[in-house]
Structure 1
Amino acid sequence: MSGKSKASPNVNGAGFDATAAIDPKHALVPAVQKVNEQRVAQGFWPKFRKVAAKIPFADDVLSVWYCARDPTTPKAAKGLMMAALAYFVLPTDAIPDILGVIGFTDDAAVFAAMLALVGKNLKPRHREAAQGFLARMKGD
């Protein structure tokens, strides 16, 4: 088998593009999880501070961020949470965020789907931390 005949589309050709949209089928692949974690580490707080007042699901986004960083959260749940957070951070998505509230409907749908799958991992402490941060943010 030659290097050109490998089955994986991410091995040959252009390879993995860290700025491309996230394929949900690969959310739990370790290399993708690492890229998602890097995207979230670099882009979460700037994006969140910029849009928190514009989105009605800001408390969910922040609760998921706290949960994904909690060492007691299972790895599979963290992987899906990081994928949703990375999608939120990604500047290019299905509906551009520059379109105002409508631009965040795809982000809300991604979070709703993710929460349906792994939302049981969100603990009251994650929601309380999110609500506390949002209250402090409004007080600024």
Structure 2
Amino acid sequence: MDAADISQHEEHFSEERFWKKVQKFSKKAGTSVVYAVLLLYYTLQKPDVPMKVKATIVGALGYFILPLDVIPDFAIGAGYADDLSVVLFALIQVAIYVDDATKRKAKDKLKDLFGENVDTSEIDSKLGRA
């Protein structure tokens, strides 16, 4: 997987479709997938992020939104594995732009969706910061 693979999904990203997918599938996808996509989403909102980085983010979020995944989202146990791998790949590529304020926004939204007891350590460790 590379940036070109991700960028082909840019056309599928829109704010409305993003929030619809997050709301509809957040419980099924789990906190790791949702936290990772929220980190990408809030990084995308930052004005100082270069356009090339934003293109990577939009491609990954477009893949997340895309209704036809390599592994369908309704597949029990594995449905979000491809979403998570694409999102994590993009997240690692843009990690230097994920600051504490971005993480705080993502965690606050995650708490809105899942309640107070959310564990973000898996994704945070992949970013190299706890």
For the aligned pair, the TM-score class normalised by the smaller chain equals: 0.7 to 0.9
> Which of the two has higher C-alpha Rg?
1
Give the percent of matched residue pairs that are identical in Structure 1 and Structure 2: 27
Question: Could you state the TM-score of these two structures normalised by the residue count of structure 1?
Answer: 0.69
2:60 aligned residue: 84
Match of 1:49 among 11, 23, 27: 23
Q: 5+ unaligned residues in a row in structure 1: which ranges?
A: 1-22
Question: Could you state the TM-score of these two structures normalised by the residue count of structure 2?
Answer: 0.74
Distance 2:110 2:17 in 1: 18
Q: 5+ unaligned residues in a row in structure 2: which ranges?
A: 116-130
Coordinate RMSD, CA, aligned: 2.2
Match of 1:73 among 39, 49, 54: 49
Match of 2:73 among 97, 100, 120: 97
Match of 1:40 among 11, 14, 32: 14
> Once superposed, which parts of structure 1, at least 4 consecutive aligned residues long, lie more than 4 Å away?
none
Distance 2:6 2:60 in 1: 12
Q: Is the 8 A contact 2:6 2:59 kept in 1?
A: no
Moved more, 100-109 or 87-96: 100-109
Distance 1:132 1:93 in 2: 28
State how many pairs are aligned: 111
Distance 1:129 1:122 in 2: 11
Q: Secondary structure at the match of 1:97?
A: coil
Amino acid at match of 2:4: P
2:108 aligned residue: 132
CA spacing shift, 1:113–1:40, aligned 2, 3 Å: same
